[in-house]
Chain A
Amino acid sequence: MASPSSQTSPAGVEGASVDASVRLPGLYFAAAAAVWLVVGTALSLIAAFKLHSPAFLADCEWLTYGRVRGAESAVLVYGWGFNAAFAIIIWLMARLAQAEVRRPVTLVISGVFWNVGILLGTLGILGGYGTAVEGLEFPAYVNMILFAAYAWIAIWALLTFRARRSPHVFISQWYLVLALLWFPWVFSLAHLLLVVDPVQGVMQPLVQTWYAHSLFLFWFGGVGVAALYYLAAKLTGRSIAHYHLSTLGFWLLVIFGGWAGPARLVGAPVPAWVVSLGIAMSFMLLVVVCVWAWNLVPTLARASAAVRRDVSYRFVVVSVAALLVAQVASVLLSFRGVAELLQFTFVQSALAQLNHYGFFSMAAFGTLYVMLPRITGRSWPVPSLVGFHFWSSLLGCLTSVVALSIAGYKQGVGLNRLPTGEGAVPTPLIDVLQSIQPYLFTQTSAMVLLVAGHVAFLVNLGWMAASCCSCCSPASSSLPNASKAA
């Protein structure tokens, strides 16, 4: 049996049969995620273009900036992010529990409901029925569909966890259970308190930040960190360094993380104590960041030269770097002096990009590039597209984050600082925005790069799925191919 810190399931026929049992739901959720990823980044590109060319598609009400921004956010979070997370959860849970997936069709049916919900919700936002609540943009009825679909997937995952064969619970499983349990709690409460029967006054932004922060820290953070721990051990073939500290990091995250959300509300008309507490808790999360770094960086650094050339390894390295930088940056941005300057600016967009794309999406790409060949028994049809996807994602993300950060800093200085000199008056807002136009152009270029990379990923994945499906028959669907790949 593998050592606890190596987190790898036994090789051979058993692991291959687990992989083969994940084929249908894994491929379905990965394909749905890829489609939504292309749709979401296309919407991001439209929104980015509108920032410097406001006349672009201005006469189309469905594509006015505010709606495109809301739809883009919802599609990338619930369409790409959740579908990718479901694929990762199903595969990791089955692998780590060493349990084959039972009744995979029911997972796909839940997935169909989930994706129909996303489609209805996206059309709802573009049609003007969105809630305008960040993180909960979909019309109210869509949330019910999503919750029902989620419930079965989560119950399935927890049942698989319960049926695990290994007595040891790996750290990745801890993080997956955290994500699976935390999300329905915060989602249902936020839906009730913001959409169904909204709470009074500024309690709404308070609930909203509590939800949005939990969503990113515990759901995406949970699934993403679980994948990173698993892949770091799996790809390098080594145990996680300082594995005993991983539990400490987990519990500190759970204890402090839930309180850190209101740090985003610095200066807002909400009770000051809850914001101060949020800032203090954000600061405490630096300990968690240290634990992640202590576990993951040395493990990845011990990879052999051959492993370092693997695209999944590269995605994981980028994801870990983005995770660490994003967490430190979010702590810094919560400090009052920094927030005074950079709150409400594009720096916040850069941080969101680093968190959601740099960390989670890169971790998801890394996992899917390992997972899909194993569950389908096929290698990637066009290897050059894999490399193109990696480099376009990396360059696109880096360019976008840097351009938005510079734009945000200049925007913050222009918005929140008086020019020097006697009797100076605030710089007109239009002048501030004109001064950052070059950076917004650069961001649009970065989005073009991301869209191209995601189309390459979708084409490759679609090709792989088509070749897999065309060969799938009762006789050929099980062991041989999968075991060869594993």
Chain B
Amino acid sequence: MNRIALLFLGLFAALAASWTGVILVNQGSVGRLARVVDANEGVAFPQPMPGLAQQGHLVYQDLGCAACHTQQVRRPGFGIDDQRGWGERHSVARDYLLESRVLIGAHRIGPDLRNVGQRKDGQEGRDGREWHYRHLYDPQLTSPGSVMPSFRFLFETRKIVGEPSPKAIQSLLPASSQPPAGHEIVPTVRAERLVSYLLSLKDSYAYPEAANVYVAKSETQSGAAAEGAK
């Protein structure tokens, strides 16, 4: 064990090989994926997130939401993500093309959020916004027994000056959570951004690579959860 040159060269070669194989080769394939232009709609997919949602992505990142939530729907037959209604299809590489920081997550203490915008669409409020405000303010209101912490620090209780704010949410809350008389509870800008981001999470466009792999489940197998999501 005295050939030092061999040691250094060997280490460098092994490093270079793994770097080339795992990173460089894939950079040449998935690293260069392009958006798909739908000839019928005349639109390229995936579409960029709205500005407010992009700012919400930063709030999602800074609060560490990825510690509990994944953003990757596994393919049918590999787990039961589809039967939980976590997405109309499994996630594909192209879904993440325009995201500045891809947070696919590694823990499921909470549900997968890749299509949470789709799941909550139409629930309690025009686009599910009110559901999210209630959920963030006190998760027990929407999901009794949940281990998700409250994010009340994303809301402000303030004195009503002049007209009440149209964004006030106390009407959505139970009597025990009402502010003092003459006060209102309004989401902060960060709460608005975060909810906009969550509502933007929906992978509905059927890319060719998703269609090739997807195996449709019968309605019996899919169960009520998937029905609810549709």
Contacts and interface: CB of A to CB of B under 8 A. Distances in A.
B64 A67 contact: yes
B30 interface: yes
B37 interface: no
Contacts of A67: 62-64
A430 B152 contact: no
A402 interface: no
Contacts of A417: 80
Contacts of A259: 18, 21-22
A269 B114 CA distance: 12
A130, A169, A199, A203: most-surrounded residue (chain B CB, <10 A): A203
Contact of B108 (A257, A258, A415): A415
A66 B101 contact: no
Given A131-B61, A429-B110, A274 B96 contact: no
Contacts of B223: 418, 423-426
B23 interface: yes
B22 A206 contact: yes
Contact of A201 (B30, B61, B109): B30
A269 B2 contact: no
A267 to B, nearest CB: 5
A258 B33 contact: no
B31 A418 contact: no
Interface stretch (B6-14, B118-126, B161-169, B175-183): B6-14
Nearest to B73: A269
Given A66-B65, A254-B11, A348-B106, A200 B225 contact: no
Given A131-B61, A254-B11, A344 B102 contact: no
B116 interface: no
For the residues of A in contact with B, the DSSP-based class is helix
A258 B22 contact: yes
A417 B27 CA distance: 35
Nearest to A341: B79
Given A254-B10, A344-B108, A170 B1 contact: yes
Interface string B66-79: 11101010110011
Interface in B120-153: 139, 143-153
Contacts of A349: 107
Contacts of A424: 223
A50 interface: yes
Contact of A130 (B14, B62, B97): B62
Nearest to B148: A54
A111 interface: no
**Could you say which interface size class chain A belongs to?**
35 or more
Interface string A254-285: 11011101101001111100100100000000
B149 A169 contact: no
Interface string B48-72: 0000000000000111111110101
A345 interface: yes
A391 interface: no
A378 to B, nearest CB: 35
Contacts of A261: 22
B211 interface: no
Interface in A370-420: 411, 415-418
Contacts of B109: 51, 433
A65 B145 contact: no
Contacts of B7: 169, 174, 177
Contact of B30 (A52, A202, A251): A202
Contacts of A198: 100-101
B94 interface: yes
A133 interface: yes
A90 B157 CA distance: 55
A189 interface: yes
B38 interface: no
Interface stretch (A15-23, A178-186, A226-234): A178-186
A271 B7 CA distance: 32
A268 B72 contact: yes
B29 interface: yes
A200 B33 contact: yes
Interface string A189-231: 1000100001111111111001000000000000000000000
Contacts of A200: 31-33, 97
Given A270-B93, A423-B223, A210 B1 contact: no
A61 interface: yes
Contact of B111 (A61, A269, A423, A429): A429
Contacts of B26: 203, 206, 270-271, 274
A54 B68 contact: no
Contact of B92 (A58, A60, A269): A269
A128 interface: yes
A258 B79 contact: no
B83 interface: yes
B1 A255 contact: no
B12 to A, nearest CB: 8
B176 to A, nearest CB: 14
Contact of A59 (B79, B99, B153): B153
Contacts of B62: 67, 128-130, 132
B173 interface: no
Contact of B66 (A64, A132, A170, A199): A132
Q: Which 9 A-B pairs have the closest CB atoms?
A: A66-B64, A258-B18, A128-B62, A344-B108, A425-B223, A201-B96, A204-B102, A66-B67, A69-B67
Interface of A: 4, 50-52, 54-55, 58-61, 64-70, 128-134, 167-171, 174, 177-178, 181-182, 185, 189, 193, 198-207, 210, 247, 251, 254-255, 257-259, 261-262, 264, 267-271, 274, 277, 336, 340, 343-345, 348-349, 411, 415-418, 423-426, 429-431, 433-434
28 contacts: A50-B149, A59-B150, A61-B153, A132-B64, A132-B103, A168-B2, A169-B7, A185-B19, A200-B31, A200-B33, A201-B94, A204-B102, A205-B104, A206-B23, A207-B23, A254-B10, A258-B18, A258-B19, A269-B92, A269-B95, A271-B29, A345-B107, A411-B108, A415-B79, A424-B223, A425-B83, A430-B144, A434-B145
Given A344-B70, A424-B223, 19 more contacts: A70-B67, A132-B61, A169-B2, A181-B11, A181-B15, A203-B27, A203-B31, A210-B18, A264-B106, A269-B93, A269-B95, A269-B104, A271-B30, A274-B21, A336-B78, A340-B79, A429-B84, A430-B146, A431-B145
